[in-house]
Structure 1
């Protein structure tokens, strides 16, 4: 886990650490469905997924977005996180392991605060990008 630098030393290109996640299990998907109230059968019913043309169930996109939230809040804090957006770029099958990473894309000073824009990515074990994202973090100067 990476620790946040002081606002004055945060630079464009700095990495914020990484987060390993997985393997994704059927139990994990069922528990996430219950916690998120997202019971879309494509994520929890193998027969339904196969009828829809998939090999099997796959992870909820928002489960991956939650990992971006974990990554950013490990680096800064949940209170510092102002916005988080995610693009789902690949299906995450059962059994997948992912690595979530982030780096500083921009920084600015305003009203005594450092505003940091982070570019976020997540990759499946084979290197396929599964998620991309962006976060805005505000750090007191």
Structure 2
């Protein structure tokens, strides 16, 4: 990986069943992730994906690009929800470029979108080269 390399976008389909499985694995059973009425009652457009689930998809993309290299840093700001429809899936697209590459660390500048919206702000990953 060299600075400026563009990484092939990774596309993830997020379904309501994924949210149920994530809730079980994480222990996060907040009903905004499973019940449209509850989500709307707090001002959301509908059921949304867990923010940490969205960030986990970024981790999957990074692992795919780097062959499973050790992740030293992974972070972002949650700036917009991933709204997951009752039928079908929401599509999360993770793309990126190599920002810097040193002897031991590679920094990736990332973009994470769902439809036309950026859902994570300033997403970044650092991996051991």
TM bucket, shorter chain: 0.7 to 0.9
| Structure 2 residue 81 is the aligned partner of structure 1 residue 83 | no
Structure 2 residue 20 is the aligned partner of structure 1 residue 30? yes
* Cα distance between partner residues in 2 of 1:27 and 1:122: 21
1:131 partner SS: strand
| Bigger Rg, which one | 1
Q: CA RMSD in A?
A: 1.5
Secondary structure at the aligned position of 2:52 is classed as: helix
Gaps of 5+ in 2: none
- Normalising by structure 2, what TM-score? 0.86
2:99 corresponds to: 105
Taking structure 1 as the reference length, what is the TM-score of the superposition?
Answer: 0.79
Q: How does 1:61-76 map to 2 (within 5 A)?
A: 61-76=51-66
The CA deviation at 1:16 is 2.5
Provide the residue aligned with 1:138 in structure 2. Answer: 128
The structure 1 residue matched to 2:10, chosen from 19, 24, 34, is: 19
Distance 1:12 1:20 in 2: 23
The total of aligned residue pairs comes to 124
C-alpha distance in 2 between matches for 1:55 and 1:17: 30
Q: How many angstroms apart in 1 are the aligned matches of 2:25 and 2:128?
A: 29
Question: Could you tell which deviates more after superposition, 57-66 or 44-53?
Answer: 44-53
Gaps of 5+ in 1: 1-9
